[in-house]
Amino acid sequence: MSDNPIQLTASQITSAEKLLASKDSEISSLRQQLIDGENSFNALADEHNKLAADLSEKEAELARIKQSLDTESRHRLEQAVAYEQLNAEMAMKCEQLAVKEASLYKRLMELQTDRSRTESTFGQTSLRNIPKIPSFDGQPISFNRWIFGVDELFTNYPGLSDFQKRILVVDSLKGDARSWYDAEPDGNIDIWDNLRQSLSKQFGGTESLIMALDKVYSMRLTDKSDFNSFIQQVRPVIKIVTGDNSKLAIVMLRKQIDTSIRKYLPEIANETFEQFEQRLKAQVNEIQSIPARVPVDRQYSMEVDPVVAAIKSEDTAPINATQYSSQFNSRFYPATPRFNSHQYRNPFQRNTKLHSRENTTMTKAQFEEYVRNSQCYNCGQKGHLRSSCTKPPRSTRFMNPILSESLDEGKDKAQ
């Protein structure tokens, strides 16, 4: 490097000093930004550590909750097992108690059998005061109810001897049941217990349930059926199959109702069998009150405004004023009295009342949906019926189409 001195002017030195000062200030600014960035990073790191600690606490709390739930589930399962064991023990004790009661009743019957002749005679005469057992014709479908009535009668009259019980029961057997009794071996009917067991074996069991289902499926309610006769036959049969389950009973009954009646019976939640029966009776009475020749759908059909259409005459010859009266009357009037009579004034028996909420069989929701999708025949707008239209009724001008066309043709030919 040369030792020659560099000559700098004052302005260059001043510029260099200003540049150095600006660089120093820029370095200071960057250093401050670096410090601020480090502080922000440290704050975020602290916040991250805090959130991580909170997350760990939440996870620990969740683990404790899961553990408590598992413990509670095991505890409930143990309680359920204990409850089932208790039920089993109670059932066993009830069975033992029933066996003891049976032996006690058997002993009482033996003691009553050993009474003196005088007491036996008095017991025979007292049969006149005992209600008569309803007859049983051997139908398995009615056996359970019949045998229940027999047991209830014997419970209310504990003084009856074994012989008296058999006399009362045998006297109530009719038809197939009596034929079965006559053909049954003596060992199966020598005492009341054996007779009852034989009756249950012959007419009870699953056969009665199958016959009940067959009887239900063989019956059907239509708009021409007698409702009282139908319900009196089907109600006890459905009760045998469903017991106290109203929902199942309603489903079985609905399947045996004709579609022409069932479509007016929407399903209602939590409805009892008795309520559905009353609703069905009202609907059947309403349908049967309509004349037989009137279809149900036409009775509740939608109203439609009349449409005027011209009918072309077969004879195209012009008709003047002097010829019109006799010719028109002879050609068209003879048929009109038939349709002007009272019988044919409304040949289809349509409902002449405006369709409204009061004279419809729809539910409220169905009727509102029907109104939303309907078009008014008065103003042409959608969303309401003509019966609720606020605009003035539209006038319809009627004229005789045959006369109008005949006169028009006469004018054309005259020209």
Average pLDDT of the chain? 77
Q: Which residues of 321-350 are buried (b: 16+ CB within 10 A; e: fewer)?
A: eeeeeeebeeeeeeeeeeeeeeeeeeeeee
Neighbours of 373 (CB within 10 A): 9
**Residue 180: partners with Cβ closer than 8 Å, 6 or more residues away:** 138, 173, 202
Neighbours of 173 (CB within 10 A): 19
Dihedral of alpha carbons 18, 20, 24, 29, sign: positive
Q: What is the pLDDT of residue 118?
A: 47
Collapse the DSSP code of 204 into the 3-class scheme (helix H, G, I; strand E, B; otherwise coil) and give the result.
coil
What is the share, in percent, of the chain residues with pLDDT greater than 90? 23
Q: What is the pLDDT of residue 374?
A: 84
Residue type, 219: M
Question: Which positions of the chain have pLDDT values less than 70?
Answer: 1-6, 115-127, 205-211, 291-355, 357, 395-415
Q: What is the pLDDT of residue 281?
A: 92
Q: What is the pLDDT of residue 208?
A: 59
